[in-house]
Amino acid sequence: MKEKKEEERRKKGVENCTRSVERAGTGTGTGLTVVAIALALALCVFTHVASAAHISVEPECQIIPPGEHFTVDIYVDPEGNETYAAEYKLQFNNTLVNATSQVNGSFLSQDGVSTLEIVNKINNTIGKIEYGETRQYVDYGVNTSGILATITFEALADGFCELGLYDVILSTPPDPDPETIPTNVTNGSVRIGLCGDVNSDKTVDMIDVLDTYDYFMYNVGQLHEWAADVNDDSTIDMIDVLDIYDHFMYGNDLNCRCGA
């Protein structure tokens, strides 16, 4: 059925392009006619090129202190594909974060059309979230980007947690038959920790400055290395010592890496 439908669309596209080229060829003026035909042919080429949609976790990575709540958006860019329904699953490390809520965004209802949540589940026991939503009472979709859902998490413990999307499905309107839209996925992540807190006592103070200095100068002590590399240059040196000191004394910003 899908192959037949695609063939019908292809034939229709070819017929439309042929008519466009024929109309272009009836112009009066050789130069303009050549240009018109070239443009018509170019449009025929682009008619057959369909971009994959894109769904992503935004922001892609963020740093959150333990005990705090944070949110991520599930963002959809349909790339011009008419989208009628969407669903996804998201996996996370339940020892590092717990999900506290999941609410729908305005992606599928951006034009005022009502929608229906097909599934909205949070399972912190296994670290899994499910969401599905569809438009209602219309036979057309949307093709403008937007937020499908917003998820709120609580950061539980220091570490790096990936937020991985899977089983993502975007689909076209149901008339005559819904079709799955090819979709690219960008996962997210969260770094839980306090940048500069090298001894993991939940504060950045002079002890962190001295511990980082001793580690750099004499290779003694144990550090939370992610928290000590406060300028994100993949090494712990005197610059990090001074940056932590400036943060403690003057409130200067630190810049630990967000990723793993």
pTM over 0.85: no
Beta carbons of 113 and 136 less than 8 angstroms apart:
yes
Which is nearest to 47 in space by CA: 24, 19, 84, 23? 19
* Cβ-Cβ contacts under 8 Å for 196 (sequence gap 6 or more): 204, 208, 227, 228, 230, 243, 244, 247, 248, 254, 256
The domain made up of 195-260 is a member of CATH 1.10.1330.10: yes
CA 94 – CA 186 distance, rounded (Å): 20
Assign 228 a pLDDT band (cuts: 50, 70, 90).
Answer: very high
Least confident range from 17-31, 138-152, 179-193: namely 17-31
pLDDT of residue 176: 84
Mean pLDDT of 200-216: 97
- The residues pairing with 123 across neighbouring beta strands, listed in sequence order, are 128
Are the C-beta atoms of residues 110 and 43 closer than 8 Å to each other?
no
The correct CATH number of 53-192 out of 4.10.490.10, 3.30.565.10, 1.20.1440.230, 2.60.40.680 is 2.60.40.680
Beta strands at 183-186 and 53-58: parallel, antiparallel or unpaired: parallel
CA terminus-to-terminus distance, the chain:
45
Mean pLDDT of the chain: 87
**Tens-digit pLDDT profile for residues 121-155:** 999 999 999 999 999 999 999 999 999 999 999 99
Specify the pairing of strand 61-64 against strand 188-192. parallel
- Are 88 and 184 in contact by the 8 Å Cβ rule? The answer is no
Query: pLDDT at position 33, please?
Result: 53
Tokens of 3: 């192959």
- Distance from C-alpha of 151 to C-alpha of 176, rounded to nearest angstrom: 33
Q: Is the pLDDT of residue 78 over 50?
A: yes
